[in-house]
Amino acid sequence: MLSSLAWVYGKVADLRNTLYDRGVLETFDLGAYTISIGNITTGGTGKTPLVALVAHILAKRGEKVCILTRGYGRTQPRERVLVSDAEKILADPEEAGDEPYELALKLLGKAIVIADADRVSAAQWAKRKFGVNAFILDDGFQHRRVRRDVDIVCIDATNPFGAGKMLPAGRLREPVNNLSRADIVVITRSNLVENLDKIKSEISNLRSGTPVIVSETRIAGVVELGEFHATPQATQSKERSEKALAFCGLGNPKNFYSQLRLEGFTVSANKSFPDHHSYTQNDIFEIEKLAAESSAALLLTTAKDAVKLSNLKFEIPCRVVEIEMVLDKPEEFAAMI
């Protein structure tokens, strides 16, 4: 049954793309330089650090940057929320969604962040209000309604093509051959696999000549939860030999745990929650109980999770792991942007 549904899903995705390609479905120019950053699979692909990196590149060149995002999981998904005007945070994680809020924290002084399902309307408003001249579409590969100057697709090296199965049987949002629309492919989390040759070969077969940038994730630093909310970009090194319980609500939590162990953290246990999970005090009680059972002296979590923990009480130290993306060809990538 799932295979049949996946077949139908793939056909519908192809039909929709064909209608856009032929101009039957209308696309809209945002009237400013527009970069889409997305993926072809569900779950975490390391897209958020790349969005932040591209925003930094554009801001450094003096552009007025605005990130347009749907803001998955926010309390009022039909409303437009100005998450940040680039100078200050104007919404909480529940109003903004966890990833938009995380981006707003990382990009203070660099980029405006708007959560709105109608990204065409949001862009028009942002241009009038802020004079934006560069837009970044967060999770925009399937958002064909908006024309873009550059289409960047993230491919997770640990699960690049969702085992070749469409939703709901697998993780593909659309057939793999549609990767041919990409202008740039960024392979993420390359440090978590042994060989990239097969992935690169498949990308080349789909669209020969497409630039492929290889990236890896690294831990930039670790900060106490309280310090993270006060100064989210002030990271520092911490002793990694203490036993820790790692927890998160990500699309691909195993990658977070693998990254910690790869970089020398002693993870005695872990606890995974659904992607975009909203934490309660009972969750914290459960996490700390597991920590005690595994002799963990502290907790480790991600920045995406940390934005939703500020009002909760912890009996043992909770630290936030800051992740950064490192490209194999940073100058070449910046030139493409």
Q: How much is the pLDDT for 240?
A: 74
209 has pLDDT over 90: no
Nearest to 152 by CA among 200, 180, 186: 186
Residues 14-42 have a mean pLDDT of 95
Mean pLDDT of 312-334: 95
Determine, yes or no, domain membership for 329.
no
Say if 116 falls within a structural domain: yes
Range of the domain at 118: 2-210
User: Is residue 55's pLDDT more than 70?
Assistant: yes
- pLDDT tens column, 234-266: 555 556 778 999 999 998 899 999 999 999 999
Burial class (CB in 10 A: 0-12, 13-18, 19+), 1: exposed
- Whether 228 has a pLDDT exceeding 90, the answer reads no
pLDDT of residue 335: 94
> At which of 159, 175, 210 does a domain end?
210
Residues 145, 286, single domain; the answer is no
Kindly give, in sequence order, each residue whose CB lies less than 8 Å from that of residue 207, ignoring residues fewer than 6 positions away: 179, 180, 182
Nearest in space to 40 (alpha carbons), one of 154, 202, 209: 154
CA–CA distance, 172 with 40 (Å, rounded to integer): 6
Judged against a pLDDT cut of 80, whether residue 52 lies above it is answered with yes
Report the share of the chain in percent with pLDDT over 90: 76
pLDDT value for 251: 87
Q: What is the pLDDT of residue 46?
A: 83
Confidence (pLDDT) at 6: 86
pLDDT one-digit tens code per residue, 111-142: 999 999 999 999 999 999 999 999 999 999 99
Same domain, 143 and 251: no
CATH of the domain at 309: 3.40.50
Per the prediction, the chain carries an average pLDDT of 92
Look at residue 239 in the predicted model and tell me its pLDDT: 61
* pLDDT exceeds 70 at position 273: yes
What pLDDT is stored for residue 75 in this prediction?
87
Residue 337 located in a structural domain: no
Would you say residue 233 has pLDDT above 80? no
Residue 144 lies in a domain: yes
| End-of-domain residue from the set 191, 210, 229 | 210
Give tens-digit pLDDT for 83-104.
999 999 999 999 999 999 999 9
pLDDT at 43: 76
Residues 53 and 133 both lie in one domain:
yes
Does one domain contain both 158 and 239? no
Q: How far is CA 44 from CA 233, 264, 291, in A?
A: 22, 23, 25
Please tell me whether residues 47 and 110 are part of one structural domain.
yes
Residue finishing a domain among 186, 210, 234 = 210
Looking at the domain assignment, is residue 318 inside a domain? yes
**For residue 335, is it within any domain?**
no
Q: What is the pLDDT of residues 151-207, one digit of tens each?
A: 999 999 998 988 788 888 888 999 999 999 999 999 999 999 988 998 999 888 887
Q: How confident is the model at residue 225 (pLDDT cuts 50, 70, 90)?
A: very high
Same-domain check for residues 178 and 256: no
Instruction: Tell me how far apart the alpha carbons of residues 164 and 308 are, in angstroms, rounded to a whole number.
Output: 34
- Whether 33 and 145 share a structural domain: yes
- For residue 332, being part of any structural domain is answered with no
Instruction: Answer yes or no: do 197 and 225 share one domain.
Output: no
- Total domains in the chain come to 2
Asked whether residue 215 is assigned to any structural domain, the reply reads no
Whole-angstrom Cα distance, residue 237 to residue 53? 22
Pair 168, 249 in one domain: no
Look at residue 105 in the predicted model and tell me its pLDDT: 93
Give a three-class secondary structure readout of the chain. CHHHHHHHHHHHHHHHHHHHHCCCCCCECCCCEEEEEEECECCCCCHHHHHHHHHHHHHHCCCCEEEEECCCCCCCCCCCEEEECCCCECCCHHHHCHHHHHHHHHCCCCEEEEECCCHHHHHHHHHHHHCCCEEEEECCCCCCCECCCEEEEEEECCCCCHHHCECCCCCECCCHHHHHHCCEEEEECHHHCCCCHHHHHHHHHHCCCCCEEEEEEEEEEEEEHHHHHHCCCCCECCCCCCEEEEEECCCCHHHHHHHHHHCCCEEEEEEECCCCCCCCHHHHHHHHHHHHHCCCCEEEEEHHHHCCCCCCCCCCCEEEEEEEEEECCHHHHHHHC
Residues 269, 297 share a domain: yes
Closest CA to 275 of 296, 297, 244, 254: 254
Q: Which two tokens stand for residue 150?
A: 């550059």
pLDDT in tens, 140-153: 999 999 999 999 99
Measure CA 203 to chain center: 21
Give the model confidence (pLDDT) of 284-308 as tens digits: 999 999 999 999 999 999 999 999 9
pLDDT for the residue 26? 95
**Within this chain, do residues 149 and 204 fall inside the same structural domain, yes or no?**
yes
Same domain, 133 and 155: yes
